Amino acid sequence: MSVVAMLEGADAADRATTQTAVGIAQRLNVPVRGLCALPDPTATLIVMSTPEATGLAANATRDIAALQDQVIARAKASFDDITSSGSHGLTCTFSHVVDIAERAGANAATLADAVVFPHSVQKVADPLSLSFEYVLMEARLPVVMAGTTPLQAGPVIVAWDGSNGAARAVRFHLSIVKAFGEVIIAQNEKDLGKDQQRDAANPAALEEWLDTHNVKHKRMPIEGEVASSLLALAKGSGASVIVAGAYGHSRIGERLFGGTTQRLLDAPERPALALAR
């Protein structure tokens, strides 16, 4: 197993992603892999049959390949700089995969302990935005988004409402939950009466499940708007990660009108987010 850092060739983003990946990997004592995925340059061009068009295509392919080499070099330099410092004692490797980032991210997320994306992926123009959304929404695999601050050593906050997304998030990220040693179960208790048929929404169900995995836990109820309450709780407790189900409503609806997931993604200050849908 390993922790994979998804890299995009932007120094600040790649350094933050790698730092988060290393911090998680240290807790799990597993290798770190830096992954930069770029498509085959020839696959991005339309094949045309005239001699003139063939020459233009060849030149364009060389130009794209040269640009990709620069992206790969920047990603590797940022990854190597972070992983070569400190005494983490982890095996750290960098790899470039010739593939679209969406497929490469899903392949990595299938069996890795965690796949870490930069926090800039909440911006549509970010090079890894489509990969992040594809892995989370289409492949329905777990993802971690690097925080806006270095990874803390504090507890893990589980945003619990008993939903399928919340359950998948905590199950998928069990190794991370166990590695950080303590869980804070956060829930607006007014939500408990919303779905009488969903007994699992009661924090007691999660507490029983955590007990079976020997994970320390405590409840800390929250009030008001969920995202801001979670962020305040994270700041006050020095939390390392917020584990949450993603997008209880449609992505388009959350982007247009806001929602807990989108507010967490957009927050200027927050810890790492471990998400699943």
**CATH number of residue 101's parent domain:** 3.40.50
| 9 within some domain | yes
pTM score, whole prediction: 0.90
Same structural domain, 139 and 242: no
Tokens of 228: 């801001």
Same structural domain, 168 and 138: no
What pLDDT, on a 0 to 100 scale, did the predictor assign at position 260? Answer: 84
Same structural domain, 22 and 137: yes
| 151 within some domain | no
How many angstroms separate the CA atoms of 225 and 202, rounded? 19
Same structural domain, 141 and 189: no
Residue where one domain finishes, among candidates 123, 145, 167: 145
Nearest to 79 by CA among 144, 25, 18, 10: 18
How many angstroms separate the CA atoms of 80 and 34, rounded? 9
What pLDDT, on a 0 to 100 scale, did the predictor assign at position 256? Answer: 38
The CATH number of the domain holding residue 266 is 3.40.50.620
Per-residue pLDDT tens over the stretch 219-242:
999 998 889 999 999 999 999 999
Residue where one domain finishes, among candidates 86, 114, 145: 145
Same structural domain, 138 and 207: no
How many angstroms separate the CA atoms of 24 and 152, rounded? 10
Same structural domain, 13 and 121: yes
Same structural domain, 211 and 128: no
* 3-state class (DSSP) for residue 153: coil
Beta pairing partners, 245 = 276
Same structural domain, 19 and 128: yes
How many angstroms separate the CA atoms of 236 and 260, rounded? 19
The domain in which residue 212 lies consists of: 156-276
Same structural domain, 170 and 134: no
Same structural domain, 176 and 268: yes
| 150 within some domain | no
Query: What averages of pLDDT result for each successive group of 10 residues across the chain (277 residues)?
Result: 96 97 96 96 60 57 87 98 90 96 96 96 92 93 94 94 90 96 90 62 91 96 91 96 80 52 89 95
Per-residue pLDDT tens over the stretch 247-273:
755 554 444 335 788 889 889 899 999
Same structural domain, 173 and 87: no
Residue where one domain finishes, among candidates 117, 145, 173: 145
What pLDDT, on a 0 to 100 scale, did the predictor assign at position 191? Answer: 64
Residue with token string 């700089």: 81
| 251 within some domain | yes
Q: How many domains does the chain have?
A: 2
Amino acid at 82: I
| 266 within some domain | yes
